[in-house]
Structure formats: structure tokens, C-alpha cells
Amino acid sequence: MSGVGSVLIAEDDRAVRESLHRALELEGYIVHSVKNGAEALEAVAALTPDAVLLDVSMPIVDGLTVCRVVRSEDNRVPILMLTARTETSDRVAGLDAGADDYLPKPYDLDELLARLRALLRRSSYHQPDQADHIDIVIGDLRLDVRGRRAVRGAREIELSKTEFDLLELLAVNVGIVLDHTLIYERIWNYDFGPDSKNLAVYIGYLRRKTEADGEPRIIHTVRGVGYTLRAAS
């Protein structure tokens, strides 16, 4: 079996919840399921899952609020948000709340499993070790790799796990244009294809955060190729 770790499913649709529960158990995961946001908050605290699959539209407490509360408690558990809302603004709202990834319904089970595996790999990979005590400094941007903190000037930037991974990848390769496929494979361990908007959403979100106080742009688009990070001139 390929699955490793425990997963919390927060989904109010019983048929979807039970189907997903069975599918994840078949993959080897330890699975817990809840039917509303209030139960999700209790389960995250009590069970400390390795990842959370979180539906946006739930009764009592909605998924966005669950995500915000979890992050406000400095809990970095990987969160994959599931929702029938497909507008870019909805994806941004999910990321803004602190989700690590976003998957619109109806989703393909194989894609969901791939994204879940990627989240769990990144979570495991970034546990601090002896090699993770370096800083990356590019102009007024500083990344504390071990502490997973980003600072621009005197301002700390709050980033989700995926956002930090992406910014770190660009920073390590400062001045080099990274194509879409390489970024997808390095960050998500899966190439979602040319029609996927995930990367563009994350790049846009990083720009909003790194330029929040009117700072010059450091993440640049190279049309038809990909993205690069350069120190502000």
C-alpha cells in the first residue's frame, strides 16, 4: 500500500465523505472523518493528523474559518481545500486562509491522491535537521530556511507551507528562469499540465505578500517559459 500517515476528512456530504474515507483507507492511510467545521477543529486538536482534506462549504463553521483558526494557533498541518467554487477569487480566498493546496470539485481521485502524497512528502522533507540552518539573502529579502520564515526589509511575511517552498525554490535559483514543469515537479511532485492555474495563483499570491507595502517586484514572469526571482534594483 502506498499511503503513509493519518488524514482527517472534513466533508458534510455523507456519500462523498464515506467514499473518500474508503478510498484513502485502501491506499493505506489512517483515516478520520467529520461532518462539519466544529468537529474538524476538535479533531485537528485531538488527533494531530498528518494532513487535512477540508471542504469549504460546511455547516456550523465553514472550511475557510476552520483553516484560519488552525493557522492562528500556529498549526502547520498540510491542508488541501476541496470546493465546488472554481473562480480564481475563490482559490485565492482559500490560500489566503492558509490552505496549502486547492482542488475544485468534481475532482479526479488520482489527482487528489497525488496532491495528498505531495503535501505529505513536503511536510516530512522540511522537518528541521542539521543542514537546515542557513539564511538566503537576496536584496532586502531574507529566508530563514530552518525557521521557515521570510522577511522583506523589516516586515515578516506570513506564508503557508507551499508558498514558502515556492519562494525558497525561486530564491535558491535566483536569476534563473524556472519553467512551469520543473516548478510543478519540484513543489507538487506532479505536473498538472499546461491548463492548470495552480502555479499562477500561488505566484500571484506571493507577489501580493512580497509587495504588500509597495516594495518593488522581485518575482517576474518570463512569458512562455516560467518565473524567476531577482533582487529589486
Is residue 86, in this structure, part of any structural domain at all?
Answer: yes
**Same-domain check for residues 121 and 163:** no
Weakest-pLDDT range from 185-189, 208-212, 217-221: 185-189
Which residues is 182 bridged to in the sheet? none
Band of residue 194 on the pLDDT scale cut at 50, 70, 90: low
Claim to verify: residue 121 and residue 10 sit in the same structural domain: yes
130 part of a folded domain: no
Question: In Å, what is the CA distance from 98 to each residue of 17, 81, 216?
Answer: 22, 10, 24
Mean local confidence (pLDDT), 95-124: 83
Looking at the domain assignment, is residue 1 inside a domain?
A: no
Least confident of 78-82, 160-164, 227-231: 160-164
Picking from 78, 99, 125, the residue at the C-terminal end of a domain is 125
- Per-residue pLDDT band for 120 (boundaries 50, 70, 90) equals confident
- pLDDT band at residue 125, thresholds of 50, 70 and 90? very low
* pLDDT at res. 193: 67
Residue numbers of the domain that contains 16: 6-125
pTM score over 0.85: no
Give 106's pLDDT tier (boundaries 50, 70, 90). confident
Q: Is residue 36 part of a domain?
A: yes
- Please check whether residues 24 and 93 belong to one and the same domain: yes
Examine residue 57 and state whether it is found in any structural domain, yes or no.
yes
Q: Which three cell numbers stand for residue 171?
A: 530564491
Least confident interval from 120-124, 173-177, 216-220: 120-124
Percent of the chain with pLDDT over 70: 87
Mean pLDDT, rounded, for 43-54: 94
- Structural domains counted in the chain: 2
Claim to verify: residue 121 and residue 196 sit in the same structural domain: no
Encoded amino acid at 204, one letter: G
We report the CATH number of the domain holding residue 73 as 3.40.50.2300
- Give whole-number Cα distances, 132 to 76, 129, 144, 145, 148, in Å: 18, 5, 9, 6, 9
* Same-domain status, 112 and 144: no
Last residue of a domain, one of 60, 93, 125: 125
Question: Would you state the pLDDT for residue 90?
Answer: 66
Say whether both 18 and 71 belong to one domain: yes
- For helices 161-172 and 198-210, angle between their N-to-C axes, nearest 10 degrees: 80
Tell me, yes or no, whether 109 lies in a domain: yes
User: 106 and 21 in one domain?
Assistant: yes
Question: Given 68, 101, 125, which residue is the final one in a domain?
Answer: 125
Residue 41: count of CB within 10 angstroms of its CB: 19
Residue 11 lies in a domain: yes
For residue 176, tell me if it sits in a domain: yes
Q: Which residue has the higher pLDDT, 118 or 85?
A: 118
Give the pLDDT confidence of 1-40 residue by residue, as tens digits.
444 689 999 999 999 999 999 999 999 999 999 999 999 9
Assess whether 31 and 119 both reside in one domain.
yes
The more confident residue out of 230 and 128 is 230
Hey, is 137 helix, strand or coil?
A: strand
Residues 16 and 88 in one domain: yes
End-to-end CA distance of the chain: 51
Same domain flag for 157 and 114:
no
At 39 the pLDDT is 95
Q: Which residue has the higher pLDDT, 88 or 64?
A: 64
User: Which of left, alpha, beta for 167 (phi over 0: left; psi -120 to 50: alpha)?
Assistant: alpha
My answer on whether 31 and 65 are in the same domain is: yes
Do 121 and 143 fall within a single domain?
A: no
